Amino acid sequence: MALTRFSLNIVKTSFKFSPSSAIRISSNQLLKPTVSQPSRMFTTSKVLSKEQVEELQKNPFFDKYAEKIAKLQKTNPEEFLDRLEAKSAKSQPDKPKDFSLPGAAKPSARDEMGKQKTLDKVMNMSLLADKTAEEIANIWNEHFASKDAVAAVIPVGTYKVMQERFKEFNTFLFPLPRDMGYEFTVVQFMGHEAHFTTLINYQAHKENAPECLSMVHYTELAEEKGIVLMVGEYDKDVLSTGEARSLVVQAIQYYGVSMGEEKKLGHLQRFTYQTEEFNHLDLILELEVNPGFAPVA
Please report which confidence band the pLDDT of residue 263 belongs to, taking 50, 70 and 90 as the band edges.
confident
Residue by residue, what is the 3-state secondary structure of 40-99? Answer: CCCCCCCCCCHHHHHHHHCCHHHHHHHHHHHCHHHCCHHHHHHHHHHHHHHHCCCCCCCC
C-alpha distances (whole Å) from 174 to each of 8, 44, 87, 89, 217 are 10, 17, 30, 29, 19
Average pLDDT, the chain: 74
| pTM given for the model | 0.66
Q: Give tens-digit pLDDT for 124-174.
A: 888 888 999 999 999 999 989 888 899 999 999 999 999 999 999 999 999
Q: Terminus-to-terminus CA distance in the chain, angstroms? A: 33
C-alpha distances (whole Å) from 61 to each of 105, 143, 185 are 21, 38, 19
The answer to whether the beta carbons of residues 193 and 117 sit under 8 Å apart is yes
The answer to whether the beta carbons of residues 225 and 216 sit under 8 Å apart is no
Q: Give tens-digit pLDDT for 75-105.
A: 555 555 565 555 545 544 434 455 555 555 5
**Rounded Cα–Cα distance for residues 4 and 30 (Å):** 45
